[in-house]
Structure formats: C-alpha cells, structure tokens
Amino acid sequence: MSTLEEKLSILSEMIAFARVDNTVKTEEYNFLLNVANQLGVDKHTFDSLFDKTAMPVFLKSEAERILQFHRLVLLMNIDSSDTSLEVALLHNIGLGMGLPPSAIEQVLTIMHKYPDKIIPPEILINIFKIHYN
C-alpha cells in the first residue's frame, strides 16, 4: 500500500463499517486506531476521519483487497454482535472489491469454527487461492 489516499480510504471504509450499528465501541475504536498505526496514519488524521470521510479508492492488488476484507471480518467480530445486517454488508463489500462470491461465503461460514471467530490468515488466504484456481 503506497499512497496516503489509499490508507485513508481503507480506514474510512472500516469506520463506516464499525458505525453500521450506530455506535463505535471502545474495542472497535482501539482496533481501528491500531490499523491506522500499522498503516502509518497519525492519530489526529485518523480521528478526523470520523468527521470527514476520505474519498474511496479501489485497491488494485488482490492481496490488498483480501487483507482489507480480513480486517473487516476481524472488526465485525470484535464486539461479537455479527448481526445479519453486518454480515450482509460485509458480503456486499467483498463483492464490491471483486472478491469471489463463493470465497466470501466460505469465509463468513467458516469463521464460526474458530475461537472468537478469528480466521487465521493462512486459512483465509488458502480459501481465496482455492477459489481462484
């Protein structure tokens, strides 16, 4: 990931997803802040995204889109309230990213088999590899 615009777009998408239930819990905020830190986005810039959304940027790399999808799955499961609305929204976001529908479905199904619904990255990657072959 190279540009600031891409990083801010990723964070804006995640913030919007966290707000789907009309609240951002402390655990969700801390997770989002951690992602911002990993992306090299300072706290002030990150916090400003709660008031002004960044322009959406389509991630070109398949790996970046899978990573973003995984971040969103983790975010959804932080508060353990994966409502049907959140699952449907996540499914649609994955489709919008151009990810294979069957892989999205498999991820959303298999996550229930892991503690705290946290799919190990290697399992997630393997799911997408299978669906691209």
What domain range includes position 110?
4-132
> For residues 124 and 107, is the Cβ–Cβ distance under 8 A?
yes
Give the pLDDT score at 133: 65
Give the pLDDT score at 92: 97
Q: How many domains does the structure of the chain reveal?
A: 1
Half-sphere exposure of residue 105: CA atoms within 13 angstroms, side-chain side? 4
Residue 81, pLDDT above cutoff 80: no
Give the pLDDT score at 93: 96
The pTM score is: 0.92
Ramachandran region, residue 57 (left: φ > 0; alpha: ψ -120 to 50; beta: rest): beta
Q: What is the mean pLDDT of residues 72-83?
A: 82
Burial of 66: CB neighbours in 10 Å, binned 0-12, 13-18, 19+: buried
132: pLDDT confidence band, cut at 50, 70 and 90? confident
62: pLDDT confidence band, cut at 50, 70 and 90? very high
